[in-house]
Amino acid sequence: MIRWIIFIVIFLVADFYAFQAFRTVTKNNILLALYWVITLFVLGNFVFQFYGFNRSDGFSHTHGYAVGFLIAVVVPFIFLIGAMFLEDVFRVPQALYRYFTEGQNEQGKYMASRRQFISKIALGLAAIPFASIIYGIYKGRYNYKVLKYTMYFEDLPEAFDGYKLTQLSDIHSGSFDDMEKVEYAVDLINEQDSDVILFTGDMVNNKAEELIPYKSVFGRLKAKDGLYSVLGNHDYGDYVKWESAAAKKKNLDDLKAIQKEMGFNLLLNETNFLEKNGERIALVGVENWGVGGFKQVGDLKKASQNVKASDFKILMSHDPTHWEKQVIDDDYHYHLTLSGHTHGMQFGIEIPGWFKWSPVKWRYKYWAGIYKEKDQFINVNRGFGYLAFPGRVGIWPEITVIELKKGSGVA
């Protein structure tokens, strides 16, 4: 209760301070009242949804929207408060100077009025993140992007020169609320006509039942050499309060069964060999392994026990910290690792080929796109779905298409 009171007080104080910019620009009582109606509704809805909330009880669509709308209000606050504060850095000392030099004046007013043009600039700046977040909730979460890469390897088997794979990650089916948009994305994946489709974990948020409405949709995915998948941290059901250990185990078993029904070959610390014209690629799939409190059941040695050192290897591992902490320095050379997990935080600024930034970079060294270390590559997929925040701003849902080429070209 105390934490909620502190949160509400801080929110209202910040809201009132930010309101000064709005009040400086307009004296229209209807608009001023509307400001408070919107912000108080957003605050009230957030408190209503999350007071007494326990993550283990599940995270619904209404929880997601409560988070989304709160972020849509709070981020513009930061711009408004910043502008107001910078103005007050000059206004307050000036007022103190006038008080001590002028004494008691007749009006008793020492603080200079806020300048309207500063408030207008502040509101203009605040409108950018507000509009971006609203767009991210309304459109961005289904703004699928196909990112294509050509990657060169000297020791790629000749038969696989020009081999094309599509990587998907972090579907989080329990977050979806628009079947048609998901169907569109599945058609977009199939249009890539890849040789194989590889899914790198987090098919659901928590429960296998989330996937049932989309089973027939994802069941339409097709690739010449099949579909393969691994588990992500959310797939194990660790974030739900189950009535028993047996219920939790059944949930995971159900998820495995549904993936099989959809045509996915789930790799659980094991390897499948893709064969072509007498040559092969080792497709290694490990269970989740991550740092920072995430499940560590991925066993690279077990998964690769039937793999030769000379094999060309593609590793599917959900969390990129696994690549950083174990894979890069392993005795085996894993040519290409495919991961996801970070979602690119679903928020950032990205100009393809020029600039890429997200706050998630402070948590993950490898957070989106292709990286190279010790002649080994990793692609961190930005995710197909979304989680918690019901949107994407600047970091769009991703379908990765990688063409493997033999040679020494630049990736």
SS3 string, 14-62, reads HHHHHHHHHHHHCCCHHHHHHHHHHHHHHHHHHHHHHCCCCHHHCCCHH
Domains: count for the chain: 2
If asked whether residues 96 and 216 sit together in one domain, one would say no
Q: How many C-beta atoms surround the C-beta of residue 367 within 10 A? A: 24
If asked whether residues 237 and 361 sit together in one domain, one would say yes
- Of 138, 161, 177, the one marking the end of a domain is 138
Q: Which residue range forms the structural domain that includes residue 310?
A: 140-406
Tokens of 76: 């513009």
If asked whether residues 88 and 172 sit together in one domain, one would say no
**How far apart (Å, rounded) are the C-alpha atoms in residues 99 and 64?**
50
pLDDT tens column, 158-174: 999 999 999 999 999 99
Per-residue pLDDT at 113: 66
If asked whether residues 196 and 330 sit together in one domain, one would say yes
Inter-residue contact 298 to 269 (CB < 8 Å): yes
Higher pLDDT, 171 or 80: 171
- Of 99, 120, 138, the one marking the end of a domain is 138
If asked whether residues 199 and 287 sit together in one domain, one would say yes
pLDDT tens column, 104-125: 555 556 666 677 888 888 899 8
**How far apart (Å, rounded) are the C-alpha atoms in residues 153 and 169?**
24
pLDDT tens column, 226-238: 999 999 999 999 9
Tell me the helix, strand and coil percentages in the chain, rounded to 5. Answer: 45, 20, 35
**How far apart (Å, rounded) are the C-alpha atoms in residues 238 and 349?**
32
pLDDT-based confidence at residue 91 (cuts at 50, 70, 90): confident
Domain-located, residue 31: yes
If asked whether residues 178 and 320 sit together in one domain, one would say yes
Domain-located, residue 411: no
If asked whether residues 68 and 168 sit together in one domain, one would say no
If asked whether residues 338 and 380 sit together in one domain, one would say yes
If asked whether residues 60 and 86 sit together in one domain, one would say yes
- Of 113, 138, 163, the one marking the end of a domain is 138
